[in-house]
Each structure stands twice: as C-alpha cells, then as structure tokens.
C-alpha cells in the first residue's frame, strides 16, 4: 500500500494536481471529526465527558511524575514503558525533521504565538479528546458489553479496531470510513515527506526537478518494503529508534539555534537608525551617499582614524586646555585605535575612543546586483568605544566637527552622571585601574 501511495503521490506532484492533496487533507480532517462525534454520541456519552475531565485533571496534577518517571524500580511496568512510551518518543523524534520543516514552510508569516497555538496546544487538546473518547469507550464496552472480548484482542490492534466498531451501530459504514481515513493519512504523509525532501535537496527552490520527485517517491516505498520484509513491524520500530537517537542530540542543538535566531530576530526589528545620522543635514548629501554605498578596507579605516579622528581629538584637546581641563590623546602602536581621555582621582576617567572594527558581510550582499558593489566578505569600519564599556557605534560618516560634537555630547552625559549624589556608588575611581 505504501509503495502504491508513494508512487501515486509522485505522479500527483508531476501532474500538477497538488491541490488535490490539500482537498484530501481537508476531507480527512472532517472525516476524523465526524468519526469522533459518532463514537461520542452513540457511545457512553456521559461516562466519556466525566472520564475526559478526570483524565485531564489527573494528567495535569501528575505531569512531572509522568514526564520524568522511567519505572526504574518497577520491572513489571518497564516492558510496557519500553514498547510504548520510549517507542513513541523515538517515533515522534524521527518524524520531527519532516513535520517540523513542513509546518515551518506552511506557517511563514505567522507569529510565534500563533505557531505554538496551532501546532502545539490545539493538536494536544484534540489528542486528549480523541484518546478519551476512543479509549474510554473501548474500556466501557469491554467491561459492560463485551465481557473482556476487546481486552483479549489487545495484542492484535488491527482486528481490535474493527471489533470495537461492531459494538456500535452502523459498523460497516464506520469500518469503511476508518479505512478511508488511514489511506488518506498515507497520502498526506507521503506528500509531506516528498515536499520536505525536495525542499532540502534543492535548497528551498520553488520548483523541484521531476526526476527527483519520482526518485524520492520510489526510495520511500522501497525502504518501507525492505524494512517490512526484513522483520515486519519490529524492524520498522528498530529503525525508528536508531534514527531518533542521533537526531535527539541535533534537536538540542536546534534549541540553542532557536534562542540565537530569536535574539537576532529581536535585534533586527528593534534596530533603530544609526547614531551617526542624528546630526546630519542636507548640506553634503552627495558625499554622504558615496560614503553609504562604499565599503572600507582595513587600510582606509586606519587612515580615517589617524587623520580625521586624530585631528578632531587634537582640536578638542586644545580647547579643553583653554578651559583649564587637562585632556590627553592616547595613541597605540598598531595605529588601529585612538582615544581622548580626561583623568580624575575621585571618579572614573572620561574616555572616548575610536577603533578599527571588522565585520562579515552577508553573502546576499555579494550576489545582489542592485546593492552596493562589494567583492570581499570582510569589511572594516571605525567604531566608537567608551570608558564605561557601553556599546559603541559606527562613526565613519561623521565629519570632523560632528565627531567633536559627539565627544562633547558624551562628556556632557558624563558630567550629568557624576554630579548626581545617587550615582556615587557607580562612579568610584577604582574602575580607572580596570580601564588602564
């Protein structure tokens, strides 16, 4: 069956009738809800509602115990724990790459809140309802109607399913409906798997080669047949466990990557205009444009620091001296940075410096035609820094007078801070030893 549906799904993609799979998915959801409602209505309805409430409350109150318990001290439960709990953990982990990438693809543009609600909360709640309705109906029928006949079939779940429906009305219709739902699940699962593998193989290309789509469909079918012929369901379960173990480690790395991605996402959307644009006027806008679309190399930035920045600091040093304030320009042998410093005994020194900073340019910028021309992935820019370790910024677009103005702006801030009594504990001169 899996071979047939994998090949059929490949043909569907090639024939351009992918919309048919979407329709099948919608039909399948409706069919599942109808089947669920049928069992709820014609089964022990009052008992099911009460058992759902009690089961949900029991799960919530025992959540941590159920999550972390491995039944290490109970040998009688461990076989069930290994054959069911661990197996399904591994099963879900092995499906995570396909399901995760597929859901991420179709969820583009959604917020994280919407994503979690649609992918985690709603399916979990539906799973609670589904297990409560079918599981508790089977338990009730086994105790009150079947005299234990359903329990005897627990080792044969395929036969158990049809035997279960025999105790409800319209059993022939529900049997055909159940088989149809399972078949459609095969189709939609094959579609998701092919979609994700094509996406990976073509690096998210919009259109996959036809031969590739057929190849993935054949490969999926052949692997399934080999595993079933080699050892049946046990071989498939073993393969699932083998696949899931290494990917569980990768999932932990995904968590770290997700945190980093969210941090980058937050910085992207919260990023404001460059500080250097605050004092701009339209006087030299043509020169500004040339500066914006040009990328500097190491030598150019070093020259900027040792000419324009140094000239601004020297002019400031002279003006501070006229106002009886001793300022000192600190230069360094590598000529990669320069700073102006005003030393103090009782409070922290004031310091404003500019250093040569390297950054890596995105590959998109290298290949995009309608963006500034750049040949190397590394570029350099002059970055300000301060004595109190605050984050600096790019000053390459400042004129000499704007640099002077920027230093005075920070010096004014410095004087405001040290003049307030409440800041005494933060302005101790002990920090001067650290800054040297």
Which DSSP string corresponds to 180-212? HHHHHHHHHHHHHHHHHHHHHHTTS-SS--HHH
C-beta separation of 306 from 298 below 8 A: no
* Assessment of whether the complete model's pTM goes beyond 0.75: no
Q: Which residues pair with 329 in a beta bridge?
A: 340
Task: Give pLDDT < 50 ranges for the chain.
Answer: 1-17, 433-436
pLDDT of residue 4: 46
pLDDT of residue 383: 94
Whole-angstrom distance, CA of residue 147 vs CA of residue 137? 14
Residue 86's nearest CA partner among 252, 228, 244 is 244
Whole-angstrom distance, CA of residue 381 vs CA of residue 398? 12
pLDDT of residue 295: 75
At a CB cut-off of 8 Å and minimum separation 6, what does 230 contact?
A: none
Cβ count within 10 A of residue 320: 17
CA 44 to chain centroid? 43
pLDDT of residue 334: 84
C-beta separation of 428 from 348 below 8 A: yes
pLDDT of residue 270: 67
CA-based radius of gyration for the chain: 34
Whole-angstrom distance, CA of residue 239 vs CA of residue 235? 6
Tokens representing 169 are: 């009305």
pLDDT of residue 434: 47
């Amino acid at each position: 069956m899996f071979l047939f549906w994998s090949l059929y799904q490949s043909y569907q993609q090639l024939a351009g009738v992918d919309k048919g799979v979407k329709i099948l998915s919608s039909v399948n959801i409706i069919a599942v809800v109808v089947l669920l409602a049928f069992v709820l209505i014609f089964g022990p309805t009052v008992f099911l509602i009460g058992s759902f409430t009690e089961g949900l409350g029991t799960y919530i109150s025992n959540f941590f115990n159920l999550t972390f318990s491995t039944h290490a001290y109970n040998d009688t439960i461990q076989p069930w724990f290994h054959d069911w709990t661990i197996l399904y953990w591994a099963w879900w982990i092995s499906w995570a790459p396909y399901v995760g990438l597929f859901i991420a693809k179709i969820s583009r543009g959604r917020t994280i809140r919407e994503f979690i609600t649609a992918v985690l909360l709603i399916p979990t709640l539906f799973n609670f309802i589904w297990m409560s309705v079918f599981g508790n109906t089977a338990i009730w029928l086994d105790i009150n109607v079947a005299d234990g006949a359903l329990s005897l079939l627990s080792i044969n779940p395929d036969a158990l399913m049809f035997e279960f429906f025999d105790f409800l009305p319209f059993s022939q219709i529900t049997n055909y409906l159940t088989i149809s739902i399972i078949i459609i699940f095969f189709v939609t699962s094959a579609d998701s798997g092919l979609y994700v593998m094509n996406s990976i193989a073509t690096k998210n290309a919009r259109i996959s080669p036809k031969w590739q789509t057929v190849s993935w469909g054949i490969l999926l079918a052949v692997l399934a047949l080999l595993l079933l012929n080699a050892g049946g369901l046990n071989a498939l379960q073993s393969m699932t466990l083998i696949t899931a173990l290494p990917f569980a480690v990768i999932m932990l790395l995904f968590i770290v990557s997700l945190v980093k991605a969210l941090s980058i996402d937050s910085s992207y959307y919260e990023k404001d205009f460059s500080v250097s644009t605050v004092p701009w006027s339209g006087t030299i806008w043509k020169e500004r444009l040339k500066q914006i679309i040009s990328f500097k190399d190491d030598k150019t930035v070093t020259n900027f620091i040792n000419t324009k920045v140094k000239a601004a600091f020297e002019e400031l040093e002279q003006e501070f001296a006229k106002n009886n304030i001793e300022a000192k320009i600190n230069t360094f042998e590598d000529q990669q940075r320069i700073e102006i410093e005003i030393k103090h005994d009782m409070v922290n020194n004031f310091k404003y410096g500019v250093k040569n900073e390297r950054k890596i340019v995105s590959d998109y910028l290298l290949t995009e035609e309608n963006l500034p021309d750049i040949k190397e992935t590394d570029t350099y820019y002059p970055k300000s820094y301060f004595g109190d370790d605050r984050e600096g910024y790019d000053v390459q677009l400042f004129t000499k007078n704007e640099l002077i103005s920027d230093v005075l702006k920070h010096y004014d801030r410095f004087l405001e801070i040290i003049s307030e009594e409440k800041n005494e504990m933060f302005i101790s001169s002990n920090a001067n030893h650290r800054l040297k």
